[in-house]
Structure 1
């Protein structure tokens, strides 16, 4: 199982939100590059970066910081937040991002999402945020009527290879991942590379996800709050 350290960017700072609320922000490092360097020095060559300004405003305010991380450290970055169109995807890939995560776009602009997926299948990640078992979008304020199973099956037909799944109720809570959710997805869609996200609180959580053969996990708040060390996280990548 690959562990992927996370950096959430808001106004050029590394932060974390609680359950996605912009009213509950904790700043962990005023320098995203400094934070990314800690990950790089610990042996991580791939990180997860979310542009929270982009997610809220649709403009890539933090892209210069992401490009600086890539150019200075030579690590690969997957990013999400504010991606609305095929041209956004192309712009980010041309800027040096290795993978682009699309959530709302996959629901609200399926034409451009499918175009992106079909042209760049190895670079596209479906960001599937779940709220009470339904796919949530638009800042988690709306949910799709189509079932998770139906939607994923359709996307696989168009070349989908990778899904980052977040249980919104667990995000930023340090209450433990939704193990049943990830095990069911892995069982029902074994050919999809599944990245778990949300709720990781301890080394035991990582071990349980690893034992369940989950492909990868994003770790954010548990690291920032000192619940898991970088060495513990990196051990899963060996």
Structure 2
């Protein structure tokens, strides 16, 4: 299982939101590069960075910080937030981003998203946020009145291979991941590699997810609040 440390950027600072609420942002580090160094020195070669300004404003705001991390640390980065068009995704990949994570675009601008899939293949990750079992978008304020199968099939037909799945009710809560959800999704869509996001509270959660043979997991708040050490993250990580 790939354990992927997370850095969420808001106004150039490392933060975590509680259930996606921008009014409940906790600042963990004023300098994202310093945080990325810790992951690199611990042995991680791939990290997850979200531009929270971009997600809210619809344009990529924190690219300079991400570019510095990539250039100076020689580490690969998957990133999302503010990607609204094919041109946005293209620009990020040209700047050295290894994987682009697209969420709202897959719902609101599906033709552009499918073009990203056609052009970049495995570099394109679907960010699928679920609220009560339905796909949520627009900052989790709206849900899609469509089954997951109907939503995913056109993308699978175009080669979608990886989905970063967030259970909104668990995000930033430290209440444990929705293991049953990921188990169900992995069984239903066996051709997709799922990355779990949201709720990881301790190393036992990582063990549970690894036992489910999940492809990957993003870990943020549990690390920043010292619930999990870098050594424990590495214990359950395989490249």
Task: Give the aligned partner of residue 106 of structure 1.
Answer: 106
Task: Give the aligned partner of residue 61 of structure 1.
Answer: 61
Cα distance in structure 2, aligned partners of 1:121 and 1:59: 23
Cα distance in structure 1, aligned partners of 2:191 and 2:40: 29
**SS across alignment from 1:207:** helix
Cα distance in structure 2, aligned partners of 1:159 and 1:59: 26
Cα distance in structure 2, aligned partners of 1:144 and 1:151: 9
Task: Give the drift of 1:154.
Answer: 2.1
Residue 222 in structure 1 maps to residue 222 in structure 2? yes
Cα distance in structure 2, aligned partners of 1:155 and 1:181: 20
Cα distance in structure 2, aligned partners of 1:169 and 1:86: 30
Q: Provide structure 2 residue ranges, at least 5 long, that are not aligned to the other structure.
A: none
Q: TM-score, normalised by structure 1?
A: 0.99
Task: Give the aligned partner of residue 5 of structure 1.
Answer: 5
**SS across alignment from 2:9:** strand
Task: Give the drift of 1:20.
Answer: 0.4
Deviations 1:107-164 (A, max 9, x none): 0000100000011111000000000100000000011111112212221001101000
Task: Give the aligned partner of residue 121 of structure 2.
Answer: 121
Task: Give the drift of 1:237.
Answer: 2.1
Cα distance in structure 2, aligned partners of 1:137 and 1:48: 20
Q: TM-score, normalised by structure 2?
A: 0.98
Cα distance in structure 1, aligned partners of 2:60 and 2:154: 29
Cα distance in structure 2, aligned partners of 1:158 and 1:132: 27
Task: Give the drift of 1:31.
Answer: 0.5
Task: Give the drift of 1:235.
Answer: 1.4
Task: Give the aligned partner of residue 26 of structure 1.
Answer: 26
Task: Give the aligned partner of residue 48 of structure 1.
Answer: 48
Deviates more, 1:150-159 or 1:80-89: 150-159
Task: Give the drift of 1:189.
Answer: 1.1
Cα distance in structure 2, aligned partners of 1:228 and 1:63: 28
Cα distance in structure 2, aligned partners of 1:112 and 1:183: 30
**SS across alignment from 1:120:** helix
Aligned length: 238
Cα distance in structure 1, aligned partners of 2:120 and 2:147: 25
**SS across alignment from 1:140:** coil
What is the aligned-residue RMSD (CA, Å)? 0.7
Task: Give the aligned partner of residue 94 of structure 2.
Answer: 94
Task: Give the aligned partner of residue 37 of structure 2.
Answer: 37
Task: Give the drift of 1:236.
Answer: 1.7
Task: Give the aligned partner of residue 159 of structure 2.
Answer: 159
Task: Give the drift of 1:100.
Answer: 0.2
Cα distance in structure 2, aligned partners of 1:160 and 1:191: 9
Runs of 4+ in 1 over 3 A off after TM superposition: none
